[in-house]
Amino acid sequence: MAFNQGYWRAKKKQEPFLALPWTIKEGFYGGGAGSGKSDVLLVYGIVHKLHENPHFKQVFMRRTFPELRNEIVPRSREIYSKFGATLNRSEMCWTFPRLDQYGGQGMSNAGAMIFLGHCEDENDVHKYDSMEINLFTPDELTSITEYIYLYIGFTRVRTSDPTLPAIIRAAGMPGGIGHSWVKRRFVDPYKDGGKLIIGKGGNKRIYIFATLADNDAIDPGYAQSLEALPEAEKRAKKYGDWDAYKGQVFEEFRELQYPDEPENAIHVISPFEIPDWWPKIVIIDWGYAAMNYISYSAVSPNKRIYTYREQGWIKTKIEEWAPLAKEYIDKEQPRVIKICRSAGQDRGQEHTIQQQVSDALGHPVDLTTGNVGSRVAGKSLIHEYLRWKPKPVIKSNGNLVYNEEYSMWLMRNRGLDEYKSYLRSFNPAEIEENIPKWQIFNTCPMMIESLKSCSYDKPRKNKVAEDVAEFEGDDPYDNSRYLVDAAERYFQDAADEFKVIQRQQNLVEKLNNTQDFTAFYRNMRSSESSSDGPKMINRYSHRH
């Protein structure tokens, strides 16, 4: 920043942000990387001369202490020390001298205070319970939860001095655990920003959109480095595109179609009519204080999952939400209904949650499989179901000759899997026609936002983090882990049934081409009689 030359000059978009009237309680600045977000929050109180009022208190916040120590403390020293402030490192607080102390050697601990705070988890908010905060400036807002923001911003931000404000001025860019709520609160109403939003209780808020293009002091090398990022991440960080952000964990997730990617590189699609005879999978992620979330998915004959409906309730009893789910379950008769394993715990009641839900739905509900260590495995399986890039095709060795004796040896000594693998090595490479294996109707926003919001958990014991960090609104993500696992097991357990489903799909396609209903019904009955699988589909009637 320019304080090393003895002054600081506001950039193009920083000016309207600094000029926001104090009647606007919430101001959010940013969008792209390199737009001067931290700087404008650090100088906000100085620009408005709030540091000259000895009663002024500001809390500049980052999620973790190392972020403050490594980045913000050095940058704040360039500013605040020039105004006579001193830093108490144990309290992480800059204290400014009173006006009569400028230029003197007197005590400087009786003036305005700017705290460099952090709030790593939601319990940390209580560290601020006794404070009266005039200016709350959370930096990298998308790194904190909505609860932290609302608790501090609406219970601690206040003033007993009519000459001081009680306002929030925040900054951030797409990504992180708070991506969804920040986008919903500030960006969705007017994605280009600049318009006043009236919230509950008449509270006013506004979004000032800015990118590195609005910062003429940005290092050209930094702007160039963003060009090397994957397309979606580049759009998020360089252009501040909140819709392009794909999440930190599931980088392959695509809500939008990009021009430089194939047509199948999309996971969020418009609804279409799901055939009655496609198998259905219902997954329940039970919760009371958190969310009780249900996903409804169908499996196509080519083994692609389509999540077509979702339901979610917070602090709602089983007898209240179950009838709403039962209406769909009775009609659609899903092959699989599962609930998270926590519902099977003995809670000292006559019946477990699993039993209560089964009774309320009138259908048997199984527990999801896996254990505590299965979270990472579930995440990996989601990656596979979201994958839209085909696997590399390895050309087989034309000189390879099948050896019956060797194949039998594999069967006896290595097992069936090794034997089958050897046989498959002689098959021609198959073209993957069902990738991605999972697509979501755009009528399921909770699932979509949850996947986009996933970020990695912090590393532990010098190991790279592999698990997804818990975050507010992660219930649909947990549900998705159970879903892909249930689908995999269904494919394994219902191999014969799926052969019938695939035959029925072929018959439907033939009917669409020939319109020969007589042959269709005859062949369909023959298909049904060869298996205990899906029965006659009543949607095809003579009215066609």
The 10s digit of each residue's pLDDT in 13-24 is 889 999 999 999
DSSP string of 252-275, one letter each residue:
T--SS--TTS-TT---EE---PPP
* Closest listed residue to residue 408, CA positions, set 427, 422, 396: 422
| Integer-rounded Cα radius of gyration of the chain | 29
Q: Which amino acid is at 471?
A: F
* Closest listed residue to residue 175, CA positions, set 454, 445, 440, 448: 454
Instruction: Say if residue 538's pLDDT is above 60.
Output: no
- Put simply, whether the predicted model's pTM sits higher than 0.85 gets the answer no
Render the burial of 143-169: b for 16+ CB within 10 Å, e for the rest: bbbbebbebbbbebbebeeeebbbbbb
Instruction: Say if residue 505's pLDDT is above 80.
Output: no
pLDDT, mean of residues 84-100: 89
pLDDT at 221: 77
pLDDT tens for residues 476-499? 999 999 999 999 888 887 777 777
Measured from the Cβ of residue 123, the count of other Cβ atoms closer than 10 Å reads 9
> How far is 18 from 193, CA to CA, in rounded Å?
15
> How far is 413 from 453, CA to CA, in rounded Å?
46
- Tokens 């501040």 label which residue? 240
Task: Please answer whether residues 514 and 507 qualify as being in contact, where contact means their C-beta atoms are separated by less than 8 angstroms.
Answer: no
Which tokens belong to 445? 């926003």
Q: Was domain 2-239 assigned CATH 3.90.180.10?
A: no
Instruction: Say if residue 439's pLDDT is above 80.
Output: yes
Which tokens belong to 292? 């009780």
Q: Which helix (H) or strand (E) holds 231?
A: helix 231-239
* Closest listed residue to residue 134, CA positions, set 100, 162, 92: 162
pLDDT at 443: 96
* Domain regions of the chain by residue span: 2-239, 280-375+435-493, 399-428, 497-544
pLDDT tens for residues 199-246? 888 999 999 998 877 777 777 777 777 777 766 677 777 787 787 654
Adjacency order of strands within the sheet including 438-441? 268-269, 438-441, 305-314, 291-299, 280-285, 336-339, 366-367
Long-range contacts of 492-498 (CB under 8 A, 24+ apart): 494/279, 494/335, 494/533, 496/531, 496/533, 497/279, 497/531, 497/532, 497/533, 497/534, 498/301, 498/303, 498/533
Q: Which amino acid is at 448?
A: I
pLDDT, mean of residues 499-528: 72
pLDDT at 311: 97
CATH architecture of residue range(s) 280-375+435-493: 2-Layer Sandwich (3.30)
